């Protein structure tokens, strides 16, 4: 019976295959990272926009002020506080005691959102100087207005920007600006921060 000789790969063929795989992988990884980061930015920006819309609807429905603020200790739920430092998410609440801030003893917490890894938040100076512990507060008429101490007299319609950002060049448009205009209209737009996460300017 004739012997069948099994044929395998030569060392040169294996080395060529590995070299081609390495080239393909080096091209695919940056593209994949851009997709992952882009999804994080879009998801976070959309979640923030939804929280603003929920706060506005609750203000109208309940006839009370409702707001959204950047927060720390967000994972602690009712122990979360509006903050301009150590921001790890944001909260939406009904301002039942009418003091323009979230107080766990007197207000109703309606939504809690935490930031994904590597994602940061910052706000325009009109909301408190780069990042803000001052809430965006909707009144029972569904409009957000400048509040005393925030660069406005408390009567003008609010224009504000909260920037969702990842310090990276992948993707090039490494930020999403969630803007509220004329006190009620909320939009999301892409922003190229050049790989950095500077706070947005006043609108």
- Report the predicted TM-score, pTM, of the whole model to 2 decimal places: 0.81
pLDDT greater than 60 at residue 196? yes
Number of domains in the chain: 1
Q: Is 187 helix (H, G, I), strand (E, B) or coil?
A: strand
Do the beta carbons of residue 178 and residue 203 sit within 8 Å?
A: no
CATH at 108: 3.55.40.10
Average pLDDT (77-90) is 84
Residue 20 gets which letter from DSSP? H
5: in domain: no
pLDDT greater than 80 at residue 43? yes
198: in domain: no
pLDDT per position as a tens digit, 165-181: 999 999 999 999 999 99
Q: What is the span of the domain harbouring residue 77?
A: 31-191
Q: What percent of the chain has pLDDT over 90?
A: 53
* pLDDT the model gives residue 152: 43
pLDDT greater than 90 at residue 143? yes
């Amino acid at each position: 019976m004739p012997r069948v000789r099994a044929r395998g790969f030569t060392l040169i063929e294996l080395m060529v295959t590995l070299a081609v795989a390495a080239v393909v992988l080096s091209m695919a990884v940056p593209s994949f990272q851009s997709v992952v980061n882009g999804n994080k930015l879009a998801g976070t920006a959309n979640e923030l926009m939804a929280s603003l819309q929920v706060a506005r609807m609750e203000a109208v429905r309940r006839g009370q002020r409702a707001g959204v603020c950047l927060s720390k200790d967000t994972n602690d739920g009712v122990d979360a506080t509006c903050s301009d430092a150590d921001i790890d998410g944001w909260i939406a609440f009904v301002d039942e005691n009418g003091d323009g801030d979230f107080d766990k003893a007197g207000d109703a917490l309606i939504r809690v959102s935490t930031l994904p890894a590597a994602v940061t938040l910052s706000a325009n100076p009109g909301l408190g100087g780069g990042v803000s512990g001052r809430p965006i507060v909707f009144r029972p008429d569904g409009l957000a207005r400048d509040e005393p101490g925030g660069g406005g007299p408390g009567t003008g319609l609010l224009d504000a920007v909260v920037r969702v950002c990842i310090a990276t060049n992948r993707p090039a448009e490494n930020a999403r600006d969630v803007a509220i205009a004329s006190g009620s209209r909320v939009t999301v737009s892409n922003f190229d921060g050049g790989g950095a996460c500077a706070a947005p300017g006043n609108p």
